[in-house]
Chain A
Amino acid sequence: MTDTQAPNPVRVDQTEPATPKAATHIKMSARDVNVFYGATHAIKDVSIDVDMENVTAFIGPSGCGKSTFLRTLNRMNDTIPIAKVTGDITLDGEDIYSPQMDVVQLRARVGMVFQKPNPFPKSIYENVAYGPRIHGLAPNKGAMDQIVEQSLKRAGLWDEVKDRLHDSGTALSGGQQQRLCIARAIAVDPEVILMDEPCSALDPIATAKIEELIHALRGKYAIVIVTHNMQQAARVSQKTAFFHLGNLVEYGETSDIFTNPREERTKDYITGRYG
């Protein structure tokens, strides 16, 4: 990307009016969060609010900490023994790192979709039924069928797979696999969905489908999406946070970030001067 292209080619979603701040409901809130990987200081004093009504995008160059920060929101960093998180992160005002918080329940409320589609080597049906089954959400087969159908419909995959629900999930195309993973995340009826570069392994058509899906899901779930693709951030999000070297440089309305950044570093990044 060169200077001349920016900021004009960035198409900000204009179909919806910018929501007044007073009306938004803050879902997750982070205050002075630091993350250390051993001696590496990966996230430095990040404070951010994620609200229910908007899609929030995290952008920034590779290694800026955006994925690391995303993983603190459902404590996926717990699986890395050397990772240490300080600061406060709350979900509906509840501290998610407090000893009272059960990580299993937290992750049922804060779902996650990964960079590479990772369906389990099971059937399509079983992939979607996995979460409801471990959380005991479906009392009987009929209820489970309904959850699976509804989740697949919401993920926009139902029409493509309804006749082969018992084929392996790994046999689907990359884009279908990623929508299956979204359906899997939706199936436990989470409140927040975290997406870690969900389109980076997909072709443009599959990417467009995922982006449409994010639009459709907006409002039902608080959505946080990490992306290295700025056009994508502009297309799907209403709020954008720019990370650089572990710092949160700027956070605001997507339209402001892309057309009128306050910080010099944000401007340099979105105009393609580095990153």
Chain B
Amino acid sequence: MTVFALFFLVVGLGLIGWLTARARASRFATLGAGKRHSLPSQHGWYVALWTAAPALLFLAIWSAVSPSLATQEVLASPAAAELPAFGFQREAILSEARTLAEGNSFGAFNEEAKALAPAYAKAQSKYRWIGTALALLLAFAGGAYAFSRVSPMFRARTRVERTVMIALLLASLIAILTTVGIFVSLLIESARFFSVVPLTDFLFGTHWSPQIIKSSDPGASLGAVPLFWGTFFIGAIIAMIVAIPFGLMSAIYLTQYAAPSVRKWMKPILEILAGVPTVVYGYFAALTVAPAVRDFAVSLGFTYASSESALAAGLVMGVMIIPFVSSMADDSIAAVPGAMRDGSLAMGATTSETISKVLLPAALPGVVAGILLAVSRAIGETMIVVMAASGAATITLNPFESATTVTKQIVDLLTGEAAFDSPKTLAAFALGLTLFLITFLLNIVALRVVKKYREAYE
């Protein structure tokens, strides 16, 4: 029996458990001196959970463990004696034998694999039967145990509620645990990198050329300062010069000036802009904006203007961020009590005086938090810079020159052909870790600012 069929069998058993327990519970429902504690369907759920949950949990673990058990058994068999002792060849033969045994392949390159296939098939079917038997046994045992407890005074409701709570808790923990896992794996790979390249070389070195790494002194060409400068220049300066004024002004227009009918169609359009895939912005940056920026720079007299300029990537990134800044600013301006606005207008202030002197100062913490989140988004943004920014790491203040970013370099480092444990590849993890820490810090600061601000008005 395949795992798939077994899964449905167990679920079916759970359903049967649900039906029988509910039927039984509904019979004694209102009898007796003490009234029943739980509804019949809650008894049903209790039995169904006891039937299906342990068996499914076992199945999940078993399908992860049993292949390696089968492999070990095959290796112990006499047919395995002729295998090469170690290495690539041995692995290839084993995996070929496995596919043969499962009937997914019709021929084999290695004769040894053919010889091993029957042994494999035998071991696999043996473990499959053991798994099936154990899962069914668990399902029946769990079901029987739960069914025996079904009685008028049994508190099935409380137990089912607790199971639901645990399931929800697990669901919410998955995102957190994944983040922790990512962080730990980054940390481990980065530690390997920093065992080869000194931390100070990486953090303060100004020369970045991962293509040419001297094995005697790998740190000399792995200085990340140009990358962080480029990231900062494109994401936090050029993009924000575009995004902050336009985002803020659009938020002010939408909250203070726009007639409700205008707001009704303008806000959704801005939100659609936020949903455009970044790769589309990337095309736009590389194919339309970058040549235009270069031509403009040439007309200004910068004859060596790059067609992968920092300005092109930054401009498009800024446009991408506008809806984000706008909606954050919109929220924080709308959160300023209407009484402030009325108070200012009643003093004879104009709408624009009211905005600049009362509403914006009051909304400032929220706006600042929004901008910090926008910066953290911009410096983590990848697709636009991969397509539009240059790979050359330079430290420049000229927006028409090329600049590169951390995310762009990570993509370049990992898509190359270098071995996975070379300093060049490992550098990607160190860059990732640093970027992670920076955006993490920005987000924490932003959230704290928002929280403080909320307290002030409630």
CB contact list, A84-128 vs B, under 8 A: 104-108, 111-112, 114, 116, 118-122
Number of A-B contacts (CB under 8 A): 67
A18 within 8 A of partner (CB):
no
Task: Name the segment of B148-156, B198-206, B339-347, B414-422 touching the other chain.
Answer: B339-347
Pick from A1-9, A130-138, A204-212 the stretch touching chain B.
A130-138
Contact of B344 among A130, A135, A188 (CB under 8 A): A130
B348 touches A108 (CB 8 A): yes
Selected interface stretch from B83-91, B217-225, B243-251, B355-363: B355-363
Residues of A within 8 A of B358 (CB): 120
- B350: which A residues are within 8 A, CB to CB? 104, 134
Proximity string of chain B (328-347) to chain A, C-beta cutoff 8 Å, 1 when within and 0 when not: 00000000010111111111
Q: Is the CB of B357 within 8 A of A188?
A: no
Interface size on B, residues (CB 8 A): 21
Bound complex: CA A99 to CA B341 (Å)? 23
**B residues near A116, Cβ cutoff 8 Å:** 339
Encode A160-171 as 1/0 by CB contact (under 8 A) with B: 000000000010
Q: Binary interface profile of B, 29-44, with partner A (CB < 8 Å = 1, else 0)?
A: 0000000000000000
Whether, in the assembled complex, A81 has its beta carbon less than 8 Å from a beta carbon of chain B, the answer is yes
The reply to whether B348 and A104 contact each other, CB–CB distance below 8 Å, is yes
Q: Which of B340, B345, B348, B456 contacts A105 (CB 8 A)?
A: B348
- A120 and B348 within 8 A (CB): no
User: Is A14 positioned at the interface, with any CB of B under 8 Å from its CB?
Assistant: no
Instruction: Decide if A104 touches B349 in the complex (CB within 8 Å).
Output: yes
Q: Does B259 contact A (CB under 8 A)?
A: yes
B260 within 8 A of A: yes
Q: Which of B343, B347, B362 contacts A134 (CB 8 A)?
A: B347
Picked from B337, B342, B353, the residue with its CB within 8 Å of the CB of A79 is B342
Q: Which residues of B contact A111 (CB under 8 A)?
A: 346-347
Q: Which residue of B lies closest to A105 (CB)?
A: B348
What is the size category of the interface that chain A forms with chain B?
20 to 34
- Chain A residues contacting B362 (CB-CB under 8 Å) are 120-121
Residues of A near B260 (CB, < 8 A) are 81
Complex CA–CA separation, A121 to B350 (angstroms): 18
Residues of B contacting A151 in the complex (Cβ-Cβ under 8 angstroms): none
A-chain residues with CB within 8 Å of residue B345 when the two chains form the complex? 76, 79, 107
Assess whether A118 is in contact with B348, with CB atoms less than 8 Å apart. Answer: no
Task: Please determine whether B347 and A130 come into contact, CB atoms closer than 8 angstroms.
Answer: yes
A114 close to B343 (CB less than 8 A): yes
Q: Which A residue sits closest to B350, measured CB to CB?
A: A104
**Does A244 interact with chain B (Cβ within 8 Å)?**
no
> CA separation between A181 and B346, bound complex, in Å?
11
- Distance in Å: Cβ of A166 to nearest Cβ of chain B: 15
Q: Does A184 contact B (CB under 8 A)?
A: yes
Residues in chain A near residue B341, CB distance under 8 A: 79
* Contact across chains for A118 and B456 when beta carbons are under 8 A apart: no
Q: Are A118's CB and B339's CB within 8 A? A: yes
Report how far A122 CA is from B149 CA in the complex, Å.
67
Q: Are B346 and A120 in contact (CB under 8 A)?
A: no
A-chain residues with CB within 8 Å of residue B259 when the two chains form the complex: 81
Q: Are B357 and A118 in contact (CB under 8 A)?
A: no
CB distance from A14 to the nearest CB of B (A): 33
Subset of 6 A-B contacts with CB under 8 Å:
A76-B346, A105-B348, A114-B339, A122-B361, A130-B349, A131-B348
| 19 new A-B contacts at CB < 8 Å, known A106-B348, A120-B362, A184-B347 | A76-B342, A81-B259, A104-B348, A107-B345, A107-B346, A107-B347, A108-B347, A108-B348, A111-B346, A118-B337, A118-B339, A118-B343, A120-B344, A120-B361, A131-B347, A134-B350, A184-B343, A188-B347, A188-B348
- Interface residues, chain B, with chain A CB atoms under 8 Å away: 259-260, 337, 339-350, 353, 357-358, 361-362, 456
Cβ-closest 8 pairs across A and B: A118-B339, A107-B348, A108-B348, A112-B346, A118-B343, A131-B347, A104-B348, A134-B349
